[in-house]
Amino acid sequence: MKKEQMDREEKKNMKKRKGKGKGRGKKFVGTAVLLIVALFVLGFLIGKFGFGFGGQGDGEGESASQTQTSSELSTNSKNMIAVSVVENDYLFENKKITLDELMTKLKAMDNICVEITSDNAALKTYNSLTDKLKAEGIEYVEKK
> Rounded distance, CA 120 to CA 126, Å?
10
Q: Residues 63-111: pLDDT tens digits?
A: 544 444 444 445 468 889 999 999 999 999 999 999 999 999 999 998 9
Q: Where are the domains of the chain?
A: 1-60, 64-143
> Are the beta carbons of 116 and 129 closer than 8 angstroms?
yes
SS3 sequence of 104-143: HHHHCCCCEEEEEEEECCCHHHHHHHHHHHHHHCCEEEEE
Within 10 angstroms of residue 141's Cβ, the number of other Cβ atoms is 18
Predicted local confidence at residue 88, as pLDDT? 93
Q: Residues 22-70: pLDDT tens digits?
A: 556 778 888 888 889 988 888 777 777 666 555 555 555 555 444 444 4
